[in-house]
Structure 1
C-alpha cells in the first residue's frame, strides 16, 4: 500500500475524539518542522468546510498576528 502524505495524516486523525484532535493540534504547534504538513492538511479541511464569514475571521486573525 502506497499512501500519500495527506492520506497518512488523515488516517492518523481518523476516529479521534474532539479532545484527541485538540491534543494532536496543540502538540504539533511550535514543534518540529516535520509536523507542519500535518497542520496544513488539517487547516485545509477546516478552510474547505467554513463559510465565508469564518474564513474572513481566520484571515483577520492571521493578519493581526503577522509582522
Structure 2
C-alpha cells in the first residue's frame, strides 16, 4: 500500500483553527515520536511556501541559531 504522507497530513489538519494547529505541533514535538517528524515536515513545507523572502530569512536565521 502506497501512502501519500502530504495528502494525509493536510487532510488531517485541514480546517483546523490556530489553537488546534498549535496543539498538533506541540503534541508532536513533546511526544518525541519519530513517526511524527514527517507530519511536522509537511507543516513546515506549507509555512515555507506561504512565506515571503523576509519570513524565509527569519526562519533560516532562527534555524541557524538553534543548531549552534
Give the TM-score normalised by structure 1. Answer: 0.91
Match of 1:25 in 2: 25
Structure 2: runs of 5 or more not aligned: none
Q: Which runs of 4+ in 1 moved over 2 A?
A: none
Alignment coverage as a number of residue pairs: 66
For residues 50 and 65 of structure 2, what CA distance do their matches in structure 1 show?
Answer: 22
Which structure carries more helix by proportion? 2
- Cα shift at 1:65: 1.1
Q: Deviations over 1:7-61 (max 9, x none)?
A: 0100100111110000000111142010000000000000001000000000000
Q: Give TM-score, length-normalised by structure 2.
A: 0.90
Q: CA RMSD in A?
A: 1.2
